[in-house]
A and B are shown apart, each in its own frame.
Chain A
Amino acid sequence: MRKRAALAGLVWKETRHILRDRKTLAVILLMPLLQVILFGYAIRTDIDDVRLAIVDPVPDHATHALRDRFGATELFRIVAVRRSSADLDGLFASGRIHQAVVFQPGFAERLAHDGPAPVQVITDAAEPNTGTAMQAYATAVIREYESGLRGSGPAGAAVTASVRMRFNPTRESANLFVPGLIAYVITIISALMTAISLSREKETGTMEVLLVSPLRPREIIAGKVAPYLLIGMATVILVLAEARLIFGVPLRGSAALLLAEGLLFTGTSLALGILISARTPSQRVAMTAVLAGTMLPTVMLSGFIFPIESLPAPLRLLSVVIPARWFVEIARGIMLKGTGLAELWQETVVLAAMTAALLAASMRSFRTRLE
């Protein structure tokens, strides 16, 4: 009975620590909320404004017609018309244009008589995907003009692909990012906060004070991490609500299942935080270790931003041992596809096994360091 009161006291002490530090608390609560907005609005790879330069040495009616075609599209904006391609380099280097369409003299004449009339499309392909897509769009505009010249006939596209986007038809980036963001938020709050809070007690020497209390090390840890568990879950719910209200991100599966899986993943992150704080000498080292050991993998190797299929084979292999990867898969499944435990039990088992192993390891290293 006395012990329970002591444990409750510890939890209360930690809670007051958290509440007293207004700046950290504000950041913890604001960061995820702002992130949803940033990811939703700012992180897009759609191309909707291509700045185009036209190089037309000897303009004629055909080059004008084709130029008008480009100008009439929503996508392209002609920002420069030149007689020669001499200053294309500068235009590209200063970022004033993304793409250039280069004609040669006598375009109309060759088109009318001895075709094919050559046109060159130069694209800033420093970013490969955008480059490829811009190239495809520009080529399509020219081909459309070409088939317009011939009138309707066999020259039209012989095969048409009708495309159906499933699970996220409008390709809303918010839908893509929110499940990953939840993993990120849980990692920040659970792993980073726990590691810093525990190693601060070590650095300032107050951990010794706690250890001579009647509480066992296991209970001290439990008492210290309990408040973070609560904050973590509260933030997850906030993020879900915000994503739903602002971006209409769906939750097609069971909310209870998602929260339960979130709780499991919070356990994984807490265990990692404890493990790191037990193994590092100072707050600074603990922080960098958390950064390199949990945050980066969560952002980079979990499929949160960059698709796992795009990773090179060694990193794809490495991603298997990253807990966030499994959680992101689970969260995406529940939110976007509406899948349940029947489809997700494997991922859940992997995550549970990782949590158990990490918790055991962290308890052990904590005990050997302190007892």
Chain B
Amino acid sequence: MRRVLHLAWVEVLHLVRDRASLAQLLLVPFIQLVILANAATFAIRDTPFALVDLDGTPASRALARHFLASPHFRPISGASTVPAADRAMLAGRATMVLVIPRGFDEALERGEGAFVQVQLNAEKGSAAGIVQTYAQRIVRRFGEERLAASPAGRLRPAIAVTTRGWYNAELDYRQYMVPGILVALVTLVGTLFTAQNIAREKELGTLEQLNVTPISKRAFIGAKLLPFWVLGMVELLLGLWIGAAVFGMPMRGSLLLLMAIAAVYLVAALGAGLLISTIVETQQQAMFVTFFVMMIYLLMSGLYTPVDSMPGWVRVVAEANPVKHFVEITRAILLKGAGPGDIVKPAAMLAMFAVGFGGMAVGRYRKGER
């Protein structure tokens, strides 16, 4: 045990001595957190739109006012004819074009259905879908108001629908993203730095020196991983604190439960890093292989886009992704206040990964070989 602590202390000294690396270890994750939390957003606001009102009646102007009043839309100037709006969209100045055709008011007065045309720049696929939802909601609401006001249709709705969005009442994207970003950062620290650290010892030849010492394989690996495990836990705690203090991220569940699961998860992440270090020879390889693996893990974790939106076979593959389970758990605990009973399945999966990766890494690591 004393040997382990000794070796771990060497590792700590290395970390503290190398100022540039230390600064990166401590600062970069938090700068990333702050930037990512603000940048990683699919929130739609101020969508620039061109209004082409070919009708010019009180009714068409009323509909236009509905759009102008919405926080999701912002009108652009100088694009009030169809060709001008078309050019604006081609130049990227307008994301949406709303065309109110001639005879809009008449059609409404006659009680027939009136039509408007909404053109969307669908280059940004998912965003276009959301903008469409907002636009149609405005149009529908306008229609309902007209209906309620007209003498012919003075019908009260037969069903009163009330909608409630749970867990994120203000629809603040950051509350959803911050827990996920924290997971990504902790994973990065755990996997990348472990893989690279051992690859560096290989490259410099100091691993051979360690190999001829009487220390056992398990003790060596334990000593290598311990400082990074502690670092990961500290960074997670700090990140949670920043998330709560700066971004008002809620903490509805038990912090203790989250940290306990993080402790297990970090073993899996560090184990993955160690596993990578056993198959590479240089730092460069360590970086690229880690990058490759992390990219797949993060993209398929539901961090950016919901796993439920992925095709069936991808969802099956995603079950073999520890990051996915930890993102799920973190969001469930922080945003939904999930208790131990609600997260048994993903937590069990994480434990399996921790044992699996850790075991494989220890098994593959051989003293005496390079």
- A residues with a Cβ closer than 8 A to B are 21, 23-24, 27-28, 30-31, 34-35, 38-39, 41-49, 90, 92-95, 98, 111, 115-133, 135-136, 138-139, 142-143, 145-146, 149-150, 154-169, 171-173, 175-176, 188, 192, 196-197, 200, 280-285, 287-289, 291-292, 296, 300-301, 303, 305-307, 309-312, 315, 329, 332-333, 336-337, 339, 343
Contacts and interface: CB of A to CB of B under 8 A. Distances in A.
B106 interface: no
Contact of A157 (B38, B143, B167): B143
A90 B341 contact: yes
Interface in B264-283: 279-283
Interface in B150-203: 150, 152-153, 155-169, 171-173, 175-176, 196, 200
B122 A165 contact: yes
Nearest to A156: B113
B132 A163 contact: yes
A168 B139 contact: no
28 contacts: A21-B282, A27-B288, A41-B311, A42-B311, A47-B309, A119-B161, A121-B163, A126-B176, A130-B309, A135-B165, A146-B157, A158-B146, A163-B132, A163-B136, A167-B122, A167-B123, A168-B123, A169-B122, A280-B20, A282-B20, A288-B21, A292-B28, A292-B31, A292-B32, A296-B36, A306-B41, A310-B44, A315-B38
Contacts of B338: 93-94
A95 B328 contact: yes
Contacts of B304: 43, 305
A24 B284 contact: yes
B306 to A, nearest CB: 6
A220 B156 CA distance: 80
B19 to A, nearest CB: 10
Given A23-B288, A43-B304, A121-B162, A116 B156 contact: yes
Contact of B169 (A45, A125, A138, A333): A125
A208 to B, nearest CB: 18
A371 to B, nearest CB: 23
Given A130-B306, A132-B133, A125 B166 contact: yes
Contacts of A337: 90, 123
B45 interface: yes
Contacts, number: 351
Contacts of B114: 158-160
Contact of A200 (B90, B284, B310, B328): B284
B80 interface: no
Nearest to B92: A329
Contacts of B146: 158-159
Contacts of B157: 115-116, 146
Interface in B329-354: 331-332, 335-339, 341-343
Given A31-B291, A306-B41, 19 more contacts: A23-B285, A38-B296, A46-B309, A123-B164, A124-B336, A136-B137, A142-B161, A157-B140, A157-B143, A162-B117, A163-B120, A163-B136, A168-B125, A175-B125, A176-B125, A283-B284, A310-B41, A312-B38, A343-B90
Contacts of B159: 111, 115-119, 142-143, 145-146
B118 to A, nearest CB: 5
A28 B341 CA distance: 43
B130 A127 contact: no
A204 to B, nearest CB: 9
B133 A133 contact: yes
Contacts of A92: 166-167, 336
B209 to A, nearest CB: 18
Contacts of B281: 23
A169 to B, nearest CB: 6
A133 B130 CA distance: 7
Contacts of A280: 20
A164 B285 contact: no
B251 interface: no
Contact of A173 (B113, B116, B126, B292): B126
B111 interface: yes
B130 A38 contact: no
Contacts of B363: none
A122 B155 contact: no
Contacts of B124: 176, 303, 307
B127 A43 contact: no
B3 to A, nearest CB: 26
A112 to B, nearest CB: 9
A309 B299 contact: no
Given A90-B341, A158-B143, A160-B114, A115 B90 contact: no
B108 to A, nearest CB: 7
A187 B260 CA distance: 38
A116 B160 contact: yes
- Counting chain B CB atoms within 10 Å of each CB, the highest count among A42, A156, A300, A333 belongs to A42
Nearest to B127: A307
A300 B181 CA distance: 12
Closest 3 CB pairs of A and B: A125-B165, A158-B143, A171-B125
Given A126-B336, A127-B176, A166-B121, A45 B305 contact: yes
Contact of B32 (A39, A93, A146, A296): A296
B46 interface: yes
Contacts of B111: 154
Interface string B291-315: 1100110011000111011110010
Contacts of A300: 35-36, 39-40
B282 A39 contact: no
B365 interface: no
Contact of A44 (B136, B160, B309): B309
Nearest to A184: B295
A285 B309 CA distance: 37
B305 A44 contact: yes
A155 B120 contact: no
A38 B115 contact: no
B168 A128 contact: yes
